Amino acid sequence: MHAHAPSPSGSARGRAFTMVELLMSVAVLALLIGLLIVGIRAGRRAATNAVQATAATDARTAVEQFRRDAGFLPPLVKDRSGELLTPAVPPLADVITTGPQNALNVYRRSVAADAAYLRTPQGDLNGQNPFIDFRFSEVSLGAYIVGAVQYPYGNAITDLPMDGVDGAGMYPPARDGTFEVPRTMLVATADRKRTGRTIDSYIKTNGSLRVFTDPARPELVYVRDVNDIPVRYYFWLRGREEPAGSGRFIVEDADDINMPNIVGRRGTQMAGTPADRDLDVSVELREASWAIVAAGPNRAFGDEELSELQRRMGVSVGNLPAAEERRLRLQAEKDNIVKVGSES
């Protein structure tokens, strides 16, 4: 009896089946790896978003506490003006307010041009791009909530920072953006003592928020979250003046609120507005006069220069048709975290 040798065709079929199995295994493995990568990215985005939400909430709580203690909201620094430092302010009787070298330039309601700017529906004053509005500061929180500004007083006999306190903490800030530093601290004596009441930082910067300084511009101190994503402080004035020149301002509907669009707007006027930023939907928005806005995981607010926005969003830099630019800006701001508050 003779043994039969394996059929060549049977051997080929066996090898072919094994190859198919291998390819299927590789495909399944690739799919699982892809799903894992997607899950990891989604988890990272969720974690970053949670950090941002906590940071924005902590910043809002700090601003509210400042308002309760000081009786007014933190001054809004003119970050975009190119003129961060103000002229000298005459000193008071027992304290000296910061001088020309070390007082941050802020918007003042008593200045007609500043009040008009803060009340303008579009902060860029031309209304050409509804996403661009400069009624915000990335410096205000570091200066007036943390008290971490280290810009020197500018007097040869002292190395005091502008707020009178090294590191976090400050002497009482005033509505005009200056700090009330006791005169005795500015006397050139060996036993110069710190006198008067100082204020602790309203934000513990070892938590959800951090202070970042610019070595080249010591007056610029930023508050950002632990991932170095920026947090902004917005402030605007509500209402329209009626009659003109009367100094009386009223709010009758959403069009009189004068809110920056990145904080809130009428969804009926801009399709794609998230429900929590729709003035037609949110009562809290309609009563707000300031806000904390944190850029989400994409690190873009949506109002950056187009080329910078494209870089942050990971798309090719170049000119875009108006409709495509609008879609990109709406996409960029979608993951922003917005927390609002009122003056009362």
Number of Cβ atoms within 10 Å of the Cβ of 133? 22
Distance, CA of 140 to CA of 178 (rounded, Å):
12
**Residue 97 β-bridge partners:** 180
Q: Which of 73, 47, 79 has the alpha carbon at shortest distance from 217?
A: 79
What pLDDT score does 329 carry?
Answer: 93
What pLDDT score does 100 carry?
Answer: 39
- The residues of the chain scoring below 50 in pLDDT are 88-101, 156-157, 189-192
Cβ–Cβ < 8 Å for 125, 105: no
As to burial, measured by CB atoms within 10 angstroms (0-12 exposed, 13-18 middle, 19+ buried), residue 70 is middle
Q: Which of 171, 174, 170, 182 has the alpha carbon at shortest distance from 94?
A: 182
15 three-state secondary structure: helix
